[in-house]
Amino acid sequence: MAVITLDQVEVHYADFHALKGVTLEIGGGTVGLLGPNGAGKSTLMKTLLGFNRASRGTLTMFGMSMPRQALEVRQRLGYMPEREVVSTTVSAVSFLCYCGELFGMNRIDALERTHEVLNYVGLGESRYRKMETYSTGMLQRVKLAQALVHDPELLLLDEPTNGLDPDGRIEMLDVIKEVAARRGVTVILSSHLLPDVQHVCERVIMMKGGMVVRDGKVSDLTASLEAQYELGLREGVDTFQEVLRGKGCAVRVRHDGKLVVTVPEGADERLLFESALGSGHQIRHFARAKHSLEEVFLDALGAKMGV
Amino acid sequence: MPVYKRTYRNYDGAYVPRFRWWLVVKQEFRVLGKYRIFLALMLVAQLHTLVRFLQILAYDVIMQDPNNILTPLLSQVDFIVVNQRMFYEYVQLQAPLLLVFMLYAGSGMICNDFRNNLMEVYFSKPIRWRDYVAGKLLALILLGLSITALPAVILVVLHNILLPSWELLQASWWWPLSLLAFSLLLVVPCALATLASSALLRSQGFAAVSVFMVLSINSSMGVILARLLYNRDYLLVSFPATLYRLGQELFDVPGYRFQSDWRWSMAFVAVVCVVSLAAIVRTVRRAEIAA
């Protein structure tokens, strides 16, 4: 059974059309929501939480209708918001324990889980300090911990690496990856940072202007391309481009100076080596070309924008 | 779980569906209990109770004994008599302190949650805006009653224990009800107005100052109108005067501040409560249901 099913979901904020007929099915695993600012990622997250009511379409989570059964659904999910969360008056232990109680745990269980989860996210030493004294990285960990305290089946993470330094970012992504590897846990990670999504997610959903513009497994989207190759030359990039074009190849130069060559139909990599041999060029790097997620993303956005 | 393994266990305990609003109430008390100022205010609030306790002791024990040397002296003091007026005045004198309590405890209750982005976190859990509002409101009401009705009712019980008689019981059985009603009349609008201010403004300081200013201006308006127009009925405009008028009605204390029908005063209180509640509901509901 799918964890989340959206069918032609539309969400409006007054006159603004924030989600435009989104249809999705998420069965499990780690899913990345990618898109530029204003693409509708956060709106989608909030719709999944029941904060936004769909003006059209249906949304079911764990087989339950949203937002009618929002409380039952929220019992089974954890949400890490994008914005900084800080409770100025209490420690992380007190805050998390309260969150656990809100999920329906008794106080003793909530306290036990609080210590366990704070240790897990790496806040063991600082858990009794008031949250207002925490650094941004520590507050990010508290946000993750409060989402994990009740052992959720679905984890919604909105920009989890916001404001983190490079080391903190990698640590946070590794923790998310670990959580995602647990049996029966589905993670939805919303981000505008492609490397974050690529590091953690198996599937990626790209959004633009409130619509899903591309949806697929990361491995499929970045699969090797049949007739496209990457070439690195010792020198003479410009002259070799001309040679290849003369033989019917499509050639472009990548930002790192490598050539991406699409050979004509019926030809294969031998054409490239023969051309190099014939023109006296030295090939230093050769690989089958792959789409980077960035290219796929830009392509998806461009395609939808009619570029 | 081995100590070297950094992980967390699956939770196999039960999620008990409970009154979520009660959790909000408990959390508010936990947080307030951490502040020394709050505890000090609590102590100050009970000083008045201590004075009234001594008054009851003096009246019930000393003045009932004709042989006590202090009896003739105490008989000269009018206000030592323990009757319904004494309890009315007890609650009335607690009112300014009640306002301080409400502003201290309530003005940050909602705005701090908004400012610290906690609303999103709370409403991502199985809690409704109704539970949230009910919890915050109940916490303030209980707090208010703890310095008005609760000690007053204890004093009534003490009075009846120290001076047991059928006549006294007959005369005083309704005092606890009046105390509760008068205390609620003071506490509920004050709690609602403070929470409304907290919901509408984004700073605890602004919220507290706003309530205080509105109340001060409103009181002054009533007095100014009554003096300028030579008609004490205009005191109805003053919210505190309105509340005290209702208190006098509840305790059957003569010497009304103004003669307008008590129903007008009740309507004024109801309007303040409804408007405040509407402001709270509108703001908090929007935090859970954005679109």
pLDDT in tens, B119-133: 999 999 999 999 999
User: Is B92 contained in some domain?
Assistant: yes
Distance in angstroms between the alpha carbons of the first and the last residue of chain B: 44
DSSP A257: S
Residues of A (59-118) whose Cβ lies below 8 Å from B? 67, 71-72, 74-75, 77-79, 81, 83-90, 94, 98-99, 101-106, 109, 113, 116-117
Instruction: Give the closest residue to A96 by CA, choosing from B130, B158, B122.
Output: B122
Distances (CA, A) of B43 to A108, B26, B90, B97, B156: 31, 20, 16, 11, 20
User: Is B285 contained in some domain?
Assistant: yes
Which are the contacts of A307, defined by CB distance < 8 A and separation ≥ 6? none
User: Is B280 contained in some domain?
Assistant: yes
Q: Which residues of chain A are modeled with pLDDT < 70?
A: 223-226, 303-307
Total domain count, chain B = 1
DSSP A291: -
Distance CA A223, CA A234 (A): 27
Q: Which of helix, strand or coil describes residue A292?
A: coil
State the pLDDT confidence band at B1, using cuts at 50, 70 and 90. very low
Tokens of residue B145, six digits: 């009653």
More confident residue, B108 or B1: B108
Instruction: Give the closest residue to A228 by CA, choosing from A216, A214, A244.
Output: A244
Chain B contact set for A81 (CB, 8 A) = 117, 120-121, 124
Burial class (CB in 10 A: 0-12, 13-18, 19+), A256: exposed
User: Is B106 contained in some domain?
Assistant: yes
Chain B contact set for A176 (CB, 8 A) = none
CB contact under 8 A, B11 and A150: yes
Q: Which of B30, B116, B120 sits opposite A86 (nearest CB)?
A: B116
Tokens of residue A204, six digits: 């990626």
Whether residue A11 lies within 8 A of chain B, CB to CB, comes out as yes
Least confident interval from B78-82, B159-163, B201-205, B274-278: B78-82
Which are the contacts of A199, defined by CB distance < 8 A and separation ≥ 6? A173, A177
Q: Which of B23, B116, B291 sits opposite A87 (nearest CB)?
A: B116
CB contact under 8 A, B7 and A120: yes
Chain A contact set for B119 (CB, 8 A) = none
Mean pLDDT (chain B, rounded): 89
pLDDT in the model for residue B104: 94
pLDDT in the model for residue A307: 36
Tokens of residue A112, six digits: 């036990």
Dihedral sign, CA of B235, B237, B242, B245?
A: positive
User: Is A268 in contact with A172 (CB distance < 8 Å)?
Assistant: no
Averaged pLDDT, B54-60: 90
Tokens of residue A53, six digits: 């009511």
Distances (CA, A) of B241 to A36, B189, B247, B277: 58, 14, 10, 22
Query: What's the predicted TM-score (pTM) here?
Result: 0.85
User: Is B284 contained in some domain?
Assistant: yes
Phi, psi of B16 (to 5 degrees): -90, 120
User: Is B24 contained in some domain?
Assistant: no
User: Is B7 in contact with B1 (CB distance < 8 Å)?
Assistant: yes
Q: Which of B10, B20, B122 sits opposite A151 (nearest CB)?
A: B10
- ipTM of this complex: 0.86
User: Is B13 contained in some domain?
Assistant: no
What's the gap in Å between the CA of B218 and the closest CA on chain A? 33
Burial class (CB in 10 A: 0-12, 13-18, 19+), B4: exposed
User: Is A212 in contact with A23 (CB distance < 8 Å)?
Assistant: yes
pLDDT in the model for residue A263: 86
User: Is B270 contained in some domain?
Assistant: yes
Distance CA B46, CA B53 (A): 10
Distances (CA, A) of B124 to A155, A234, B18, B264: 11, 57, 17, 43
CB contact under 8 A, A13 and B18: no
What's the gap in Å between the CA of A293 and the closest CA on chain B? 31
Q: Which residue segment(s) compose the domain that B110 sits in? A: 29-290
Q: Which of B15, B27, B117 sits opposite A81 (nearest CB)?
A: B117
Instruction: Give the closest residue to B219 by CA, choosing from B271, B257, B175, B191.
Output: B257
CB contact under 8 A, B23 and A102: yes
CB contact under 8 A, B291 and A101: no
pLDDT in the model for residue B216: 93
